Every structure is written in C-alpha cells, then in structure tokens.
Amino acid sequence: MEYTNLLLQHQGNIAVLTINRPKALNALNSDTLSELSAALDELGRDSSVKAVIVTGSGEKAFIAGADISQMKDFSPLEGRRFAQLGHATFRKLELLPQPVIAAVNGFALGGGCELSMACDIRIASENAKFGQPEVTLGLTAGFGGTQRLPRLVGTGLASELLFTGDIIDAQEAYRIGLVNKVYPLESLMEEALKLAQRIAGRAPVAVQLTKSAIQRGINLDLDSAQAYEAEVFGLTMSTSDRTEGCTAFVEKRKPNFEGR
C-alpha cells in the first residue's frame, strides 16, 4: 500500500517503517496515526517480515510529538478520540507479532517518546532527545506516556519527567534505562539493521512467542503470567524449529530455522 506520511520499506526480512513528515519534524496528526495503524495491519499479516524498525525522516527528529497545530483547536470529544486513536495504534504496535526496534534519530518528544516506548527495544543516536513536554502546553501525556514511562524507568523518574516536561539527552536516556544503546547518528540505522538481523536469525516462532509472553505477561500477576509462559513454552514443542534448534546443538552445527 502507498502512504502519504509514512515510508514502508523492506530490506530482506526486515521492514523499516519511517514516519515521513520532516517539515513538521514528523509530528503525528490523525492521518499519520491512521496510516500507521494500516501499515501495522499490513506488517502483522506479512509472515516474511521477521523484525521491524521504526524511525523518523530527516536528521533532526524521530517524532517531535503529536501535531500541536491540530490539537490546539480540539473539543474535549475530539481530544479524547485523538488519544484513543493513539492508544489503539500504539497498542497494535506493541502487540505486533514481530519484534519492533525504535531507531530514535533525534527529537522523541511527547507522542514521539510515547511511540518509542510502545516499541520492544529503543536504540538512539547521540543527538536524540527525549521528553514528555505536554505540561508545558497545558496538556497531559495522552498516548500512554503516563503508563509506559513509569513501567520503563520507575515512578519517581517518570513523575519528574512528566511533571517538569524536561528534555533529556541520549546519554541520560541510556543512564535511566529508556534506551538500550547510543550510537553516532551516521551508524544508527546500520546498528538497528544489525540488531534486527540478529533477531531475525533466531527461531521466528520462538521470538514471536517470547514477545507475546513479555507483552501479555507484564500486565498479569506473576502466577498467571508464568502459566501463560508455560503454555507458550509447550507450544514451541510443536515447531520444527524446536527439533532443528535442539538437533543442531547436539550435532554441533548452526541451526537452519524455517519459522514453523
């Protein structure tokens, strides 16, 4: 499918999804969110895609937030609908079968920070900046930031960021565990692709079940989550990748996974 505000490209079995409104620093308006939702449906159906990278167009911004020019005239109902559209879209991203890496290549503010937090893994360029500046605009975070930021960095740090609207740099984001790695901007995509390819080389069904156990389990109590993990583990016994992976280990050779 062709998109106006997105680029969806494929490099072998890796999909690269680029938010493409560079003139507005890739700000998310409702059209872009709707396109993102459609692109995620497309990716979720495509079993040839083993990992997804999300990034922003240009060298300045990942996503500078939800579109302020659109939000400034919202009625309460429109605001609620916009937040719900973001919630549904980011949840779809979070529950996409394939693992998703956010390659944060600049400003990740407000909705941009929130989108990155709905990805499984975040890596950042040295110039990346993170923050939830909604309170500086008379708004609250509305695409899951009040929920995902505390889960990722703890309530104290999240509260400070959400109450002050302070912007932090990539090193501070790394220090607090918001991003896994920081790279020079020019090598960010190469590193994202390398990581995606490492993941894509593992048993695909096992990777997808692992993601499901993490994402479903995190919202359950430990006993329910472990019961789900046991079901997921049991399910891997039905895959030919289990036979291949374990046999390859015993035969001291590299496994050749087929994703079934």
CB of 66 to ligand HXC, least distance (A): 4
CB of 24 to ligand HXC, least distance (A): 4
Q: What is the DSSP letter of 134?
A: G
CB of 207 to ligand HXC, least distance (A): 30
Spot the catalytic one: 134, 190, 251, 258.
134
24 binds ligand HXC (CB under 6 A): yes
56 binds ligand HXC (CB under 6 A): no
Kindly indicate which of the ranges 60-68, 119-127, 194-202, 212-220 contains the residues binding ligand HXC, using the contact rule CB under 6 A.
Answer: 60-68
- d(Cα 96, Cα 126) in Å, to the nearest integer? 28
CB of 121 to ligand HXC, least distance (A): 22
128 binds ligand HXC (CB under 6 A): no
Tokens of 63: 């996503």
Which residue's C-beta sits nearest to ligand HXC? 110
- d(Cα 163, Cα 134) in Å, to the nearest integer? 9
Among 4, 48, 69, 75, binds ligand HXC (CB under 6 A): 69
52 binds ligand HXC (CB under 6 A): no
Residue 25: which region, alpha, beta or left (left: phi > 0; alpha: psi -120 to 50)? left
E strand segments, 24-155: 51-56, 61-63, 100-104, 107-109, 121-125, 129-131
**Cα–Cα distances in Å, from 117 out to 2, 110, 198, 224, 236?**
26, 11, 21, 24, 28
- d(Cα 179, Cα 124) in Å, to the nearest integer? 7
Which residue type, as a one-letter code, is found at position 190? E
142 binds ligand HXC (CB under 6 A): yes
Q: How many CB atoms lie within 10 A of CB 135?
A: 13
Told to judge if 114 belongs to the known catalytic residues of this protein, a careful annotator would answer yes
204 binds ligand HXC (CB under 6 A): no
Told to judge if 134 belongs to the known catalytic residues of this protein, a careful annotator would answer yes
CB of 87 to ligand HXC, least distance (A): 9
Q: Are 52 and 17 in contact (CB under 8 A)?
A: yes
* Exposure class string for 15-31: b at 16+ Cβ within 10 A, else e: bbbbbbbeebbbbbbbe
Among 90, 130, 143, 257, binds ligand HXC (CB under 6 A): 143
Restricting to residues 98-117, name those near ligand HXC by CB under 6 A: 107, 109-111
Spot the catalytic one: 114, 126, 244, 251.
114
25 binds ligand HXC (CB under 6 A): yes
Summarize as ranges the residues that interact with ligand HXC (CB under 6 A). 24-25, 27, 64-69, 82-83, 86, 107, 109-111, 133-134, 137, 139, 141-143
Which residue numbers are catalytic?
114, 134
